[in-house]
Amino acid sequence: MTCKLVGLTLDDMEIMTIGDCLDYATDYIRIKNQDSMDQPQVKKATQADFDNF
């Protein structure tokens, strides 16, 4: 299931070892997490924020 989530096809997995598949999935997740960390975190406004505005 994880291989499908990271975009590996059956053809890809036939030529890769299990270690290659795990490395690919680990790198994919690391890159995706890094991309989301680059985006600024948005704070959800509270009533106090609106009152101060």
Q: What is the pLDDT of residues 4-26, one digit of tens each?
A: 788 888 898 899 998 998 898 88
Q: For residues 28 and 33, what is the distance between their CA atoms, to the nearest angstrom?
A: 9
Whether residue 36 is contained in a domain is answered as no
Residue 37 falls inside a structural domain: no
Q: What is the pTM of this model?
A: 0.57
Host domain of residue 4 = 1-31
Residue 41 lies in a domain: no
Look at residue 2 and tell me whether its pLDDT is greater than 80: no
Q: Looking at the domain assignment, is residue 7 inside a domain? A: yes
In a domain, 42, yes or no: no
Distances in Å between the Cα of 29 and the Cα atoms of 7, 13, 49 are: 11, 18, 35
Q: What is the total count of domains within the chain?
A: 1
49 occurs within a structural domain: no
pLDDT mean over 39-44: 74
